[in-house]
Amino acid sequence: MPFILFLAAFAVLFFYGVMLYNGLVRLKHEVSKSWANIDVLLKQRHEELPKLVDVCRHYSQFEQDTLSRIMEARAMLSEAARAANVGRIGELEGQLRSLTGQIFAVAEAYPELKADAQYSHLALRITQLEDSIADRRELYNEAVNLNNVRIEQFPDVVIASLFSFRPAKPLRFAEAEKRDVDVNALFQR
């Protein structure tokens, strides 16, 4: 009888451990899936930005410095994405969003550019992608939070440390992105 009780207790503990492990695996994959969703949108936006830059370049007096800085930021962001450096991606995303906003602000001074159908389409597409990235970033950060909380809670922490589950990094943007935009400064460039 004591052996049967020991066996039953072991079975309960084993299945409880399996449930905890499976829950942690599910959360780890939710973080990966959420990141993959962001990555798809970033790639789409990165494919659209050169097209927008090319359209703006056709207007010879358009601010070339902003266009060059956008392409540089885009290249650095692609490198950070390949390296899966979430902290650097957050920093560069803020910079790229700010530069994209500058293009839209400077374009206000070019009525021919604003009337260009290709520019209008690309501007709308990039704006929609920005909104989608913000939504997906929220979902990713929620998945990261759930994962990180679970791997620190008892008894999950025991399973997490036994099987080397690691905390994930949330996607945070630079402080400059959180500040109000000074539209007057954008027009004075």
pLDDT in tens, 89-137: 888 888 888 888 888 887 777 777 777 888 888 888 888 988 898 899 9
| Mean pLDDT computed over 151-159 | 92
User: Residue 27 in contact with residue 160, Cβ under 8 Å?
Assistant: no
Residue ranges of domains in the chain, CATH in brackets: 28-177 (1.20.1440.20)
In this structure, what token pair is assigned to residue 67? 């266009």
Per-chain mean pLDDT for the chain:
83
pLDDT at residue 22, as a whole number = 94
In this structure, what token pair is assigned to residue 15? 């299945």
- Among the listed residues 99, 98, 77, the one whose alpha carbon sits nearest the alpha carbon of residue 89: 77
Whole-number percent of the chain with pLDDT over 70: 89
User: Residue 110 in contact with residue 189, Cβ under 8 Å?
Assistant: no
pLDDT in tens, 44-62: 888 888 888 888 877 656 6
CA–CA separation, 108 vs 83, rounded Å? 36
| Mean pLDDT computed over 71-97 | 84
pLDDT at residue 189, as a whole number = 43
Residue 133 CB neighbours (<10 A):
21
| Mean pLDDT computed over 24-51 | 90
